Amino acid sequence: MTAIEQEIRIFILDNFLMGREDILSNHDSFLEKGIFDSTGILELVSFLEQRYNIELEPEELVPENLDSISSLGRFLQRKLSAPLAVSAMDVSHTSA
């Protein structure tokens, strides 16, 4: 397990599984296991942005990137090694 995966695992165990380590492997789908409710997903996103000093774009909020500890680990490795890790804030404007 990489250091990033270990950090994410600890965050999820502490915040969503209340320490019950046995019920989530690193490859389990968060969606299928019902790990997050609406608030939980936002907490995860806030944790990732603050801990790794990144900003997540709407198109990055997909299961391929976020749906397990191992997919999160791979996504973060890619994101952190990209030349511009910090991108524009996720805000869009339109006129009514």
On the CB side of 1, how many CA atoms lie within 13 Å of its CA?
14
DSSP 23: G
User: How many residues sit in the footprint of other proteins (CB under 8 A)?
Assistant: 27
Nearest-5° Cα angle at 34, 29 to 38: 110
- Taking alpha carbons only, the member of 24, 56, 59 closest to residue 42 is 56
Stretch that binds other proteins, among 6-14, 18-26, 53-61, 75-83 (CB under 8 A): 53-61
Q: Which of 14, 25, 27, 46 binds other proteins (CB under 8 A)?
A: 46
| Interface residue with other proteins, options 21, 25, 32, 77 (CB under 8 A) | 32
In the set 13, 17, 41, 54, which binds other proteins (CB under 8 A)?
41
Residues near 62 by Cβ (< 8 Å), separated by ≥ 6? none
Contact residues: other proteins, CB under 8 A:
31-32, 34, 36-43, 45-46, 58-59, 61-64, 66, 90-96
